[in-house]
Structure 1
Amino acid sequence: MKKAPNALEVIALTALTFAVASTARAEETKDISPNFDAETVPIAALNPSAMPALRDTPDTEDRLQEFDRITALDPSASETALESPSLAPETESFPTAPKTLAASTPEIESFPTAPKTLAASTPPTELPRTAPRNQVAQRRNPNPSNLPAGIYGALSGDLRLLREAQLQGLAVSGIGTIGTGSTDFFAGFGINAAVGYKSLQNNLRVEAQLAYGQNEIGVVELPAIASRSISTTTVNGKGSISTFTGFLNGYYDLNTGSNWQPYIGGGIGLTRLASNGISATYPGTDLTTSVDDARWGFAYQIMAGTAYYLSPQTAVTLGYRYFDPLGGNTFDTPLGEVRLKDGGAHNFEFGVRHFF
């Protein structure tokens, strides 16, 4: 372990340092004083060659006098005197780093952290197109919340049932008007075609429809003829009743959240009601009554039913329509007018609807 230097060694080294500096300055001025003071003997004895330089060093004279004064009073205090601030040699010290050094140091540039909204700002990845197999499944079971809208066409067939009707003003040749009879009808048929438009926002549909229906005459009840002693008679009639109608219809579709979609609606239009060779003959006589004419008049209908979507564009329909002519039900005959009363029709239809 290295031994720490004592006080005398420190003084000698200090004096030597001052001597070197003074010698350099003395060579420049060429004026070195050879006079020595008796008070400088203790240090000169340590290093005689340093005394001329010490004399010329600032504050050296005062420091040596202070040292001699202290050691003259107490020789043992020489080492303590060296610790006096007035005798400590001035040494150049480096300034301490200011406390704000760290604060003044430029910050190292760091990479900014990714914003939390990075994932939100990333554009969504486009999903691959649905496989053909899934497309087939979607057609079989379409999404009911995405039912079609726009222009469509519809075609349906009817089972047509006419109500029993009164025949007012029947007449017989040779006798004239004989009174009021009645007739019923066989089950008939109907054909309907329509083009319409559906709005998806309010589930309303409007359409233009053409409809044709026909029923054969069934049993006819003929009134009694008192002049001929003929009582009320029922016979099988001949001929048919047909209608050809143009309607403007409106519908409201009920969204059930499934492929089933019920509807209700109504329509009004013009109809051509025709009696096609209607005739009936009293049994055992030649007394015959007949009606063969056609008239135009207003008609209305009300509808209700349901549709089942086989695909997003195509649905099958099952519904009911009640049809009734408001006018045009009075026919001309050679013997006068015959009025067809209560001639409404019940129509049960099955059809298909397709959106384009």
Structure 2
Amino acid sequence: MRRLQYLAFAAATLFLTPAVQAADMPPVLRASAPTVEPAASGGWYLRGDIGLGTQRARDWHYNPNPPLGITDTTYQHSLSSTMFIGAGIGYAFNSWFRVDGTLEYRSGGRFIGRDVLSGPGGAYENVLHSNMSSVVALLNGYIDLGTWWGITPYVGAGVGYAWNRLSPTFDTGVVVGVGASSGMINAGTMGNFAWALMAGLAWDVTPSTKIELGYRYMQTGHFRSGAPCPLCTTAVVNYQVRNVNAHDLRIGLRYAFGGGPAAAPIVARY
């Protein structure tokens, strides 16, 4: 019986000793996992872009139309691709919204137009060759859609103004029953409202430098030749290439400065 009492007393001692020691020790503060506050992103940046665009136009025609008493007209046309280079300055308000103003020069586009005209005086056919260029100023806004592995997709839109120029046009023509004729039509410049829609990806090369690869749809408006047409009477004021738009692929570089992304402190919560 005494052996059982000794065994019970020993077991109770072993069980209670750690609890008594723990009660005598000061409490231990256990830290939760540290949390990082989102980094603030904002500030001024510079940008530069180069790219290539395919161009299309709704139509082209003489203005006023039809010229020279023509009663029946058929118009055909084609536009070549254009190259562009641009630069701008912008401001990021936070990690998801930014705006910039850009100025770009577009060149290398070529217009080829063909018309078949008929009327009381006979039938005429003309082929026009001219070069196209533009200077486009845009105010753009972008929404950045989050960053994964250093890559940020974005969407954007822009509005502005385009100065469109047609170079002097070489006009080769045929008058049915008479023969060929040719001449030059004066160069002309025309200003238009312009707008654009954009989407793309930005890659963080460094905390302050990003490379962009993007697509842009741009509407640059109308192009117009000079007046009058030396081959015609003053009834033909000019010809117009109307509603020109472009599908652009562009590569850009952005550099942030003066208050760019700020490092956020690591805060340990207990």
**Could you tell me the TM-score, scaled by structure 1's length?**
0.53
- Aligned AA for 1:159? L
Count of residue correspondences: 213
The 8 Å contact of residues 167 and 186 in structure 2, kept in 1 or not, is answered as yes
Q: Which has the larger radius of gyration?
A: 1
* 2:83 is aligned with 1:189: yes
Counterpart selection for 1:341 from 242, 253, 257: 242
After TM superposition, the runs of 4+ consecutive aligned structure 1 residues lying more than 6 A away are: 117-120
* 2:151 is aligned with 1:266: no
Displacement after TM superposition at 1:119 (Å): 9.2
Deviates more, 1:149-158 or 1:176-185: 176-185
- Structure with greater contact order relative to length (CA < 8 Å, sep ≥ 6): 2
Deviates more, 1:338-347 or 1:145-154: 145-154
- Aligned AA for 1:187? S
Displacement after TM superposition at 1:114 (Å): 8.7
What SS does structure 1 have at the residue aligned with 2:181?
A: coil
Paired with 1:337 and 1:319, the residues of 2 have a C-alpha distance of 36
Counterpart selection for 1:162 from 55, 60, 68: 55
Match of 1:176 in 2: 68
What SS does structure 2 have at the residue aligned with 1:222?
A: strand
The 8 Å contact of residues 220 and 280 in structure 1, kept in 2 or not, is answered as no
Displacement after TM superposition at 1:176 (Å): 3.3
Displacement after TM superposition at 1:294 (Å): 0.6
Structure 1, unmatched stretches of 5+, are: 1-112, 121-144
Q: Deviations over 1:133-190 (max 9, x none)?
A: xxxxxxxxxxxx758532111111120221045221169xxx8375563422222201
Displacement after TM superposition at 1:224 (Å): 3.0
Match of 2:9 in 1: none
Counterpart selection for 1:290 from 180, 185, 188: 185
Structure 2, unmatched stretches of 5+, are: 1-23, 32-37, 229-235, 258-270
The 8 Å contact of residues 196 and 205 in structure 1, kept in 2 or not, is answered as yes
Paired with 1:177 and 1:305, the residues of 2 have a C-alpha distance of 50
Paired with 2:220 and 2:82, the residues of 1 have a C-alpha distance of 17
Displacement after TM superposition at 1:281 (Å): 0.9
Match of 1:323 in 2: 218
Deviates more, 1:257-266 or 1:334-343: 334-343
- Aligned AA for 1:270? Y
Counterpart selection for 1:354 from 246, 255, 268: 255
Displacement after TM superposition at 1:340 (Å): 2.0
- Structure 2 CA distance for partners of 1:118 and 1:299, relative to 1, 3 Å: closer
RMSD: 3.1
* 2:44 is aligned with 1:151: yes
Displacement after TM superposition at 1:289 (Å): 6.6
- Structure 2 CA distance for partners of 1:183 and 1:115, relative to 1, 3 Å: same
Match of 1:302 in 2: 197
Match of 1:215 in 2: 108
After superposition, residues 15-164 of structure 1 pair within 5 angstroms as 116=27, 149-164=42-57
The 8 Å contact of residues 138 and 158 in structure 2, kept in 1 or not, is answered as yes
The 8 Å contact of residues 166 and 180 in structure 1, kept in 2 or not, is answered as no
- Structure 2 CA distance for partners of 1:147 and 1:162, relative to 1, 3 Å: farther
Displacement after TM superposition at 1:199 (Å): 2.5
Higher strand share: 2
**Could you tell me the TM-score, scaled by structure 2's length?**
0.68
- Structure 2 CA distance for partners of 1:147 and 1:176, relative to 1, 3 Å: farther
Displacement after TM superposition at 1:318 (Å): 0.8
Identity of aligned residues (%): 25
